Amino acid sequence: MALYITDECINCDVCEPECPNGAISQGEEIYIIEPALCTECVGHYETSQCVEVCPVDCILVDPKHEETQDELKERYLQLTKDSD
């Protein structure tokens, strides 16, 4: 599953630089996560780095984007294939 940021976001700016895929950006009011780029850090880290650093726990699993670990791994491979 991709992650999403709830409206409890305080715009603290700590999550965006932690995302290895560049999936997090500043939205109109709060930070947002682009589901097509989010791998929940599969392939990069053992845990989702944005979740680890969020001081208000407002980054949750998005039930609208259900994906298996294999699908997340495949996305990671697609996103990083040009960086080899």
Domain extent, residue 63, equals: 3-83
Q: What is the mean pLDDT of residues 49-55?
A: 98
Percentage of the chain modeled with pLDDT above 70: 96
According to the model, what pLDDT value does residue 65 have? 87
Neighbours of 64 (CB within 10 A): 9
State how many domains the chain has. 1
Q: Return the SS3 of 26.
A: strand
CATH of residue 78's domain is: 3.30.70.20
User: pLDDT tens-digit profile of 22-50?
Assistant: 999 999 999 999 999 999 999 999 999 99
Residue 51 three-state SS = helix
DSSP 30-47: SEEE-TTT--TTTTT-SS
Residue 7's pLDDT is: 96
| Alpha-carbon span 37 to 21, nearest angstrom | 6
